[in-house]
Chains A and B, each alone.
Chain A
Amino acid sequence: MADSVALPQPRTLSFPGRVLALVPGVLLLALVGYAGKFLEQFIARYGKAHHLVLPNIEYVLWAILIGLVISNTVGVPAAFRAGVATYEFWLKIGIVLLGARFLVGDVLRLGGVSLALVIIEIALSLAFMTVLGRTFKLRPKLITLLAVGSSICGVSAIIATQGAIDADDEDSSYAIAAILALGAISLFLFPLIGHGLHLTDRGYGLWAGLAVDNTAEASAAGALYSDAAGKVAVLAKTCRNAMIGFVVLVYAIYWAGKGQAARVENKAAFLWNKFPKFVLGFLLISLLASTGFFTRPQITAIGNLSRWAFLLTFAGVGLRTNLRELGKQGARPFLVGAIGEIAIASLTLGLVYGATKLSLL
């Protein structure tokens, strides 16, 4: 996740005007998210009352599906778009508050394993995507964007890298479209594969956090499996996000060395600018919760607030996914992305399997 992702707001409006412009879309996120939660509970109650065995479809999936139906049929009206685009903002608030549900010991232990696997995953993914992109004769900067997007942090990483290496808007659009389309597919495939392989909550959560690109999709893919898997997926994905600055810096220096991007004068400032600050917020809340700053009921309340923030995020994932728009992208970037994603998903599944066998999870 990068700082460069800003809410699309009309610049001509005053600050109160810009905040007011967000209200319709935020209300739509809340409505869609709550409809998903209502449907899950309604179906469970109906089945119980009528002694029927109905499939338990999580509110996460309902929220995403309702959002998808709206965005791909009637579309999201212009008045709602600015507010709907805030879903990443709610995601970050949700991640920071989720810190209350982790003890620092858990964060250090599971986070340590995640970080080790993340470093292996990033190194192998970047190398694989680069070779694959060259094989398919994609433009060099498009290869860089696809490699960063699929190995670290999806769309935000692509946007952060685009600025750092002076890539074309067209390359960036191709890479973003490929990553978004593959993220949407992962959302539905990952839980199916996880159940098929009988993965544990911890193993599946780690896998989703390591392999699904966008943070919103990784959180949703984890939550679709179970609440515990969702927690682990967010932790693993947060470790991955923390690496964004280092990878973008390496690429910025590489392209500057070729004379095709601006030089990085202050590397420390560059790293700080690219570092996702919500990681620090997550660690701080986890530290406070572990040192007894909050009582048990307060931790429960903060955990529930985190769930509400994620609910808005999941609604946003569906509402911002327009399948027709994604279909307009070039076939080759999508093909390279798809092959890369399958390879990365297989690789990370192997890493998680190995970590489980070594009793690291």
Chain B
Amino acid sequence: MASPRSSFKLRISLDTWAVLIALLVAVLVRAGVLKSVPW
């Protein structure tokens, strides 16, 4: 029988992943890791 711990599975939606990655990128720019992004 699966324990409650093993049966728990965190599902992060595609939307949330996109927000988390975008925020991470913004933090990297703020921290100076990504300095200049050409277009």
Contact = CB atoms under 8 A, between A and B. Distances in A.
Given A293-B30, A304-B37, A278 B23 contact: no
Contacts of B10: none
Contacts of B23: 96, 281, 284-285
Given A304-B37, A304-B38, A298 B17 contact: no
A276 B35 CA distance: 30
B15 A277 contact: yes
Interface in B1-39: 13-19, 21-23, 25-26, 29-30, 34-39
A285 B16 CA distance: 14
Nearest to A94: B22
A88 B36 CA distance: 25
A115 to B, nearest CB: 20
Contacts of A281: 18-19, 22-23
Contact of A285 (B18, B22, B36): B22
Given A96-B23, A294-B30, A305-B29, A89 B36 contact: no
B39 A3 contact: no
B37 A278 contact: no
Interface residues of A, number: 31
B13 to A, nearest CB: 4
A96 B21 CA distance: 10
Contacts of B37: 300-302, 304-305, 308
A100 interface: yes
Nearest to A100: B26
B19 A277 contact: yes
A96 B14 CA distance: 13
B9 to A, nearest CB: 13
Contacts of A293: 30
A320 B39 CA distance: 25
Contact of B14 (A3, A285, A302): A3
A304 B39 CA distance: 6
Interface string A1-13: 1010111000000
A301 B35 contact: yes
Contacts of A308: 37, 39
Contact of A88 (B14, B30, B34, B35): B14
A208 to B, nearest CB: 22
Contacts of B39: 304, 307-308
A298 B26 CA distance: 9
A97 interface: yes
Contacts of B30: 293-294, 298
Which of B26, B30, B39 is most buried by chain A, counting CB atoms within 10 A of its CB?
B26
B19 A301 contact: no
Contacts of A300: 37
5 contacts: A96-B23, A277-B13, A278-B19, A301-B29, A302-B25
Interface of B: 13-19, 21-23, 25-26, 29-30, 34-39
Given A96-B23, A97-B22, A305-B25, 9 more contacts: A3-B13, A5-B14, A89-B14, A92-B19, A92-B22, A96-B18, A281-B22, A301-B34, A302-B25
3 A-B pairs with least C-beta separation: A92-B18, A281-B19, A96-B22
